[in-house]
A and B are shown apart, each in its own frame.
Chain A
Amino acid sequence: MKLLISPLQRMIMGLLPPWGPVGINPIKSAALNAHQFLLRQNFSGKPGLVTAIDLVNYWQEVFEANRIPEAQESSEYIVSYVLGAKTFHSLSASSISTPLTAEQQEQVQQLSAKRLQRMPVQYVLGEWDFQDLTLKMRPPVFIPRPETEDLISLVLEEASRKNKSCLDNAVHQCPPTTPLHVILEIGCGSGAIALSLLRKLPQSQVIAVDKEVAAVNLTRENAQRFQLQHRLRLFHHDVSSSSREELLPWGPVDIIVSNPPYVFHEDMAHLAAEILRYENLDALDGGNDGMRVIKRILELAPCILKNYGSVFLEVDPRHPEMVENWLQSRPDLFLSLCATHKDFCGKPRFLHIQKTYSR
Chain B
Amino acid sequence: MRLLLRALRAALGLRPAGAGLGGKQPWRPLSATPDLTELFAAPGLPRLLEARAGNGELAARIQRLRAKEQELQETQELARSDENEDLRKLAAKEVISCQEEVAELKRQIILLLIPSEETDNNDLVMELAAGVGGQEAMLFTADIFDMYQQYAAYKRWRFEILEYSPSEIGGLRHAVASIAGPEAYKNLKFEGGVHRVQRVPKTEKQGRIHTSTMSVAILPQPTEINLSIDPKDLRIETKRASGAGGQHVNKTESAVRIVHIPTGVVAECQEQRSQVKNKEKAMKVLHARLYDIQVEEVTRKRCSNRKIQVGTRGRSEKIRTYSFPQDRVTDHRISRSVHHIEKFMLGEELLDEMIKSLREYADYESLMEMISANEQTKLT
Give the nearest-CB partner of A121 in chain B.
Answer: B252
- Asked whether A91 lies within 8 Å of B166 as measured between CB atoms, the reply is yes
Please tell me which stretch of A146-154, A173-181, A297-305, A326-334 contacts chain B, meaning at least 4 of its Cβ atoms lie within 8 angstroms of it: A146-154
- Given A97-B170, A147-B245, A150-B276, are A89 and B164 also a contact pair (CB < 8 Å)? yes
When distances are taken between beta carbons in the complex, the residues of chain A under 8 Å from B247 are 145, 259, 261-263, 283-284, 316
A93 touches B252 (CB 8 A): no
Chain B 246-280 near chain A by CB (<8 Å), digits 1 or 0 = 11111111100000000000000011111111010
Given contact pairs A70-B251, A73-B253, A86 touches B273 in the complex (Cβ within 8 A):
yes
Which chain B residue lies CB-closest to A314? B246
Within 8 A of B (CB), among A93-143: 93-94, 96-98, 120-122, 128-132, 143
B170 touches A345 (CB 8 A): no
How many Å from the CB of A318 to the closest CB on chain B?
10
A90–B271 touching, CB < 8 Å: yes
Complexed CA–CA distance, A347 and B241 (Å): 9
Given A73-B253, A87-B272, A129-B272: A271 and B248 interface contact (C-beta under 8 Å): yes
Is A92 close to B, CB under 8 A? Answer: yes
For residue B222, CB closer than 8 A to chain A, the reply is no
- Interface 1/0s, chain A 47-86, versus B by CB < 8 A? 0000001000000000000000110011001000000001
Within 8 Å of chain A (Cβ to Cβ): is B142? yes
Least CB distance, A356 to chain B, in whole angstroms = 28
Q: Which A residues lie within 8 Å of B238 (CB)?
A: 146, 344-345
Residues of chain B within 8 A (CB-CB) of A94 are 142, 170
Chain A residue total in the interface (Cβ 8 A): 51
Asked if A131 meets B277 with Cβ closer than 8 Å, knowing A87-B270, A93-B171, the reply is yes
Contacts of A132 in B (CB 8 A): 274, 277
Which residues of the other chain, A, contact B252 by a CB distance below 8 angstroms?
A: 70, 73-74, 77, 120-122, 128
User: What's the minimum C-beta distance from B250 to chain A, rounded to whole angstroms?
Assistant: 5
Contact A347 B166, beta carbon cutoff 8 Å? no
Docked pose: A96 CA to B249 CA in angstroms? 30
Give the chain B neighbours of A70 by CB distance below 8 A: 251-253
Do residues A93 and B166 form an inter-chain contact, with CB atoms below 8 A?
yes
A15 at interface (Cβ–Cβ under 8 A)?
A: no
Whether A347 contacts B271 in the complex (CB less than 8 A), given A97-B170, A120-B250, A274-B250, comes out as: no
B245 with A97: CB separation less than 8 A: no
Query: Does A279 reach chain B (CB closer than 8 Å)?
Result: yes
Given contacts A146-B240, A345-B245, A349-B246, contact A89 B271 (CB under 8 A): yes
Distance, CA A210 to CA B278, complexed state (A): 30
The residue in chain B whose Cβ has the minimal distance to the Cβ of A127 is B273
Task: Kindly identify which residue among B171, B246, B250 contacts A143, using a CB–CB cutoff of 8 Å.
Answer: B250
Known pairs A128-B252, A275-B250 / 17 extra A-B pairs, C-beta < 8 Å: A86-B272, A90-B164, A91-B166, A93-B142, A93-B145, A93-B172, A97-B166, A121-B252, A128-B273, A131-B276, A132-B277, A143-B250, A146-B275, A343-B246, A344-B279, A345-B238, A347-B246
Could you tell me the distance in whole angstroms from the C-beta of B56 to the nearest C-beta in chain A?
38
Question: Is B241's CB under 8 angstroms from A345's CB?
Answer: yes
A27 interface contact, C-beta 8 A: no
Whether, in the assembled complex, A267 has its beta carbon less than 8 Å from a beta carbon of chain B, the answer is yes
Docked CA distance A123–B21 (Å): 61
CA distance A86 to B275 in the complex (A): 13
Are A93 and B170 also in contact (CB < 8 A) when A86-B273, A272-B250, A274-B250 are?
A: yes
Chain B residues within an 8 Å CB radius of A259: 247
Distance in Å from the Cβ of A22 to the closest Cβ of chain B? 28
Instruction: State whether B277 touches A145 (Cβ < 8 A).
Output: no
Question: What are the residues of chain A within 8 A of B270 when measuring CB–CB?
Answer: 87, 89
A86 to B254, CA, bound (A): 12
Which residue of B161, B163, B244, B254 contacts A146 across the interface (Cβ within 8 Å)? B254
Chain B residues, CB < 8 A from A87: 254, 270-273
Complex Cα–Cα for A91 and B251 (A) = 21
B113 contacts A by Cβ under 8 Å: no
Inter-chain contacts of B248 with A (CB < 8 A): 263, 267, 271
